[in-house]
Amino acid sequence: MGAAGGALAGWVSGIMTTKLHIPDLLSGILTMTGLYSVNLFVMGMANVPLTGTMKTVFNIISIGDSTTTTIVVGGVIIAIVIIVLVAFFNTEMGLAARAVGNNEDMSAANGINADAMKIIVYMISNGLIALSGSLMAQTNGYADVSMGIGTIVIALAGIIIAEILLHNISFGQRLLTIIVGAIIYRLIIAIVLELGVDANALRLFYALMLTLFLSLPLIQKKVGQVQQRRKNTKSMKEDD
């Protein structure tokens, strides 16, 4: 139900972007702002405890201790999501959506309804976000209206780390590397906490680390250009 609600929110963002021509970033912010009140209406209060009051997927399917259960159940759900996404994006509709993402003008010239594809992808992505939020609430044992704040940092870091680690890979492998990237990001945070960094400085550290990750592709490009120029210069000297 949470994933369905997220898909509905994605439809709203998609309509605002494609039909009202509101910039995609702004439409996401507007939807997120409205959902804050929606979440309060659904929850009835800012914080709702789940422990001992209702069953969760993690106590229905119990495998050893809580950590083992979380890892196993989470891994199974991730595998199912990746399989479904790979299957969908290899269908005719999925390939059309990927084409719109790569080159919207060329896709439209080939008869693809770009607006419809955007709305579908909005619904899928927001549905997955809501699914992740519902699992996070069940893992933590409570739902808080502000618990999703800052999650985009992890998502961006995971994607950027994945892009840096591997290139020229298949769609399914790309999804797996994003998971690995998110895990690497969390490990970096854990190491920083182990080093005793002041908790008040964590937000600043997150911002600096994300800036570094976002800059790495450009740094790699610049380094590659410098190396290429050196090779060209060396080749010209050898020819002389």
Same domain, yes or no: 116 and 8: yes
DSSP-derived 3-state class of residue 36: helix
Residue showing tokens 């619904």: 123
For the chain, give the percent of residues with pLDDT over 70: 97
pLDDT given at position 239: 66
Q: Looking at the structure, do residues 51 and 130 belong to the same domain, yes or no?
A: yes
Mean pLDDT score, 31-53: 86
pLDDT digit string, tens, across residues 62-104: 777 778 888 888 889 999 999 999 999 999 999 999 999 888 8
Say if residue 111 is in the same domain as residue 157. Answer: no
Task: Give the lowest-confidence range in 11-25, 129-143, 215-229.
Answer: 215-229
Cβ neighbours for 214, distance < 8 A, ≥ 6 positions apart: 156, 160
Q: Are 182 and 160 in contact (CB under 8 A)?
A: no
- In a shared domain, residues 171 and 202: yes
164 band by pLDDT with thresholds 50, 70 and 90: confident
Given 121, 149, 177, which residue is the final one in a domain? 149
Give how many domains the chain has, as a whole number. Answer: 2
Strands, DSSP E only, in 148-227? none
If we measure between CA atoms, which residue out of 77, 109, 107 comes closest to residue 92? Answer: 107
Please tell me whether residues 121 and 190 are part of one structural domain: no
State the average pLDDT for the chain. Answer: 85
Q: Are 57 and 138 in contact (CB under 8 A)?
A: yes
Give pLDDT, residue 9: 94
Distance CA 116, CA 75 (A): 31
In three-state secondary structure terms, 45 is coil
Q: Which amino acid is at 167?
A: H
Residue that finishes a domain, picked among 122, 149, 176 = 149
Q: What is the pLDDT of residues 2-12, one digit of tens each?
A: 899 999 999 99
Instruction: Kindly report the pTM of this predicted structure.
Output: 0.80
Most confident of 3-17, 127-141, 166-180: 3-17
- Three-state SS for 35? helix
